Amino acid sequence: MKRLATYALSSLLSCIAISGFSQNNNIKPKQFNSFPDAINCTEFELSKVFNATPGQVINISFSDNFVFSGNVTSNIVKYANLQTAVVVSPDYSNTIFSISKITNSDGTTGYIGRIINKNYFDGYELKRNQSGNYQLIKMETDRVIQDCTQL
């Protein structure tokens, strides 16, 4: 009986050790470290994305020191009230800005989106604040992107 307990304990410790070594503890660099945690955005700048055509290079000026320049890779009207566009910026290591424009039944327009790169720790999420103005709010990309890496 003591042998069985020894084997069981050895197997358990081996499993714990293997699962501990298989954890992905890569520390990603911060891409937007020099930018503030919240950046104000105007609806005019956000709407410029939806007037662009795929293949066109656009500049979105979120603030005086943060301009997101990139190539529009898609601009699709999915439904009558939903349009989604994607901009990829070579200036920020091919970081993606994905934004959707939603037209509500009362005629108002809302925007949601993210600036994200899976190789970096930080990104931005587009949100509307209490005053009704849009802001890019800094976030951790690992909380948004699921890591499906298999070893």
- Output the pLDDT for position 34: 87
Q: Which tokens hold the place of 5?
A: 């307990």
The residue behind tokens 């901009």 is 87
Over residues 38-74, the pLDDT tens digits come to: 999 999 999 999 999 999 999 999 877 889 999 999 9
Is residue 21, in this structure, part of any structural domain at all? no
pTM, two decimals, is 0.75
Which of residues 8 and 124 earns the better pLDDT score?
124
* DSSP-assigned letter for residue 93: T
Is residue 33, in this structure, part of any structural domain at all? no
Range of lowest pLDDT (8-17, 59-68, 115-124): 8-17
- Output the pLDDT for position 136: 93
Query: For residue 103, what are the β-bridge partners?
Result: 109
- Output the pLDDT for position 101: 95
Query: Distance between CA atoms of 109 and 131, rounded to whole angstroms?
Result: 15
* DSSP-assigned letter for residue 29: P
Is residue 108, in this structure, part of any structural domain at all? yes
Q: Which tokens hold the place of 70?
A: 């990139």
Is residue 93, in this structure, part of any structural domain at all? yes
Question: For the chain, what percent of residues have pLDDT higher than 90?
Answer: 54
Is residue 52, in this structure, part of any structural domain at all? yes
Q: Please report the beta strands in the chain, taking only residues with DSSP state E, as ranges in sequence order.
A: 38-41, 57-63, 66-79, 82-89, 95-103, 109-116, 122-128, 134-140
Average pLDDT over residues 132-136: 92
Query: Distance between CA atoms of 37 and 30, rounded to whole angstroms?
Result: 12
Over residues 93-105, the pLDDT tens digits come to: 999 999 999 999 9
- Domain range holding 71? 38-143
Is residue 148, in this structure, part of any structural domain at all? no
Is residue 12, in this structure, part of any structural domain at all? no
- The helix (run of H) or strand (run of E) holding residue 18 is helix 2-21
Q: Residue 89, SS3?
A: strand
Is residue 109, in this structure, part of any structural domain at all? yes
pLDDT surpassing 80 at residue 149: no
- The helix (run of H) or strand (run of E) holding residue 44 is helix 43-48
Average pLDDT over residues 20-35: 71
Q: Count how many domains the chain has.
A: 1
